[in-house]
Amino acid sequence: MLVHALLPARCLACGRVVDEQGSLCEVCWKGLRFIGGDLCRICGRPREDGRPGDLACAECADEPPAYDIARAALVYGTVGRSLILSFKHGGRIAGASTFARWMVDAGRPMLTDGSLLLPVPAHRWRLFARGFNQAALLAGHVARQTGLVCLPDTLRRVRRTVSQQGLGSRERRANVTPGAFAVAGRDAHAIADRPVVLIDDVLTTGSTVNACSVILRRAGACRIGVLTLARVAQDETQPI
């Protein structure tokens, strides 16, 4: 096609020319780390402690998060990080449908009938600067692939916070608190007594989704899941 001749398809992670829009080159595909095996039953972090069975990790056992379950498709590693940054800051949104398919596979335990999908909201000024909310884009595709209802405007960010990029876990928790979010909009009443699934691109320390979960619990959500494209598995200081 003429469009492809003028604008060739490029790898979603590294930018190399590929055969099909919304795909990865062979090198980047081989470098992806899909999450599987033994996971913490709550936060979904890959477990390497050798403990048998469906158990919580030490962090969740000591300080349970505000949500009930979290799952992610990819480890935020070398290729995963390039994929996220190209999507989030580079505007390579052609892979959103593919990303959502990976997320659906990872999130099947929480994507049950009646679940409501809520993207983690961006503040209006950040949305204006970036041009789109990557969480809302992913949530829309997950909704189309599962038939679940997406409420893109019900959870809102009412207070601007500084970027989480480069912040440590303690700084992230102090930066994003429940007061930064609110349940609003014409569908706010729909959350009461319903299971909800928060959608975002990356789960790092969990400070943002924890703050959102507190607000959703106050609004009456009966079960809160978190589903992301990627999550930090080891080093929580990696910049997002």
86-128 pLDDT, tens per residue?
A: 888 777 788 899 999 999 999 998 999 899 999 999 866 566 5
Q: Is 104 exposed, middle or buried (0-12, 13-18, 19+ CB in 10 A)?
A: middle
Token pair 């659906």: residue: 104
Query: Which residues neighbour 26 within 8 Å (Cβ) at sequence distance 6 or greater?
Result: none
Average pLDDT, the chain: 83
**If you average pLDDT over residues 143-150, what whole number do you get?**
97
pLDDT higher than 50, residue 63: yes
Residues 238 and 230: beta-carbon distance below 8 Å: no
What residues form DSSP beta bridges with 72? 228
| Percent of the chain whose predicted confidence (pLDDT) is above 70 | 79
**Predicted pLDDT at 240:** 36
**Predicted pLDDT at 234:** 61
For the chain, which residues make up each domain, given as ranges? 1-31, 34-231
**Predicted pLDDT at 74:** 94
What SS3 state is found at 183?
Answer: strand
How far does Cα 6 stand from its chain's mean position? 33
Residues 70 and 225: beta-carbon distance below 8 Å: yes
Residues 197 and 225: beta-carbon distance below 8 Å: yes
- Chain segment 3-44, per-residue pLDDT in tens: 445 678 888 888 889 888 888 999 999 999 999 888 899 999
Residues 31 and 179: beta-carbon distance below 8 Å: no
Question: How far apart (Å, rounded) are the C-alpha atoms in residues 9 and 156?
Answer: 35
**Predicted pLDDT at 2:** 43
DSSP state at residue 85: H
101: which 2 tokens? 């398919």
Classify 34-231 by CATH class: alpha beta
Residues 181 and 158: beta-carbon distance below 8 Å: yes
- According to DSSP H, which parts of the chain are helical? 2-6, 26-31, 58-62, 78-88, 96-106, 124-130, 134-146, 169-175, 207-218
